[in-house]
Amino acid sequence: MATIELTKDNFNETLTENDFVLIDFWASWCGPCKQFAPVFEKASEDNPDLVFAKVDTEDQQELAASFEIQSIPTLMVVRDRTVIYSQPGALPEEALQDLIKQARELDMDEVQREIAKQQADGDPATEE
């Protein structure tokens, strides 16, 4: 599947209609983004069952701000409308393939239970 361009107009629909989406937040002036682009494209070709999407942070500033993107490229992995990975930095091909493999193997029922538990208990990461 070809990489799709995400905008504020199609973002929610894309994440609602697809169970597994990898999102590359990038900008045309960003050197590391240009280096990561072919790695991301190759991964999209190697994993045709997944949705690979790009957000141009210059063109979609609202969208980038809503995810508090402060450094690009930032790669985000969303499964079942839940962000399971979000890190800045260009990954080498092997690391991206490993990340995809780990994300595929993740038990999303367990992830949802853990999120619900944290919300019920109050997120320990934010408590002093």
Q: Would residue 84 show up in a list of annotated catalytic residues for this protein?
A: no
State the Cα–Cα distance between residues 102 and 52, nearest whole angstrom: 16
Model confidence pTM above 0.85: yes
pLDDT-derived band at 123, boundaries 50, 70, 90? low
Q: What is the pLDDT of residue 1?
A: 57
Choosing from 6, 21, 22, 30, the catalytic residue is 30
* Domain ranges (residues) in the chain: 4-122
Please state the rounded mean pLDDT for residues 41-63: 95
Nearest to 73 by CA among 98, 55, 59: 55
Q: Would residue 94 show up in a list of annotated catalytic residues for this protein?
A: no
- Please tell me which residue, 62 or 115, carries the higher pLDDT value: 62
pLDDT of 128 higher than 50? no
CATH class of 4-122: alpha beta
Query: Helices in the chain by DSSP H: which ranges?
Result: 11-17, 31-46, 61-66, 93-105, 108-121
Choosing from 15, 21, 22, 33, the catalytic residue is 33
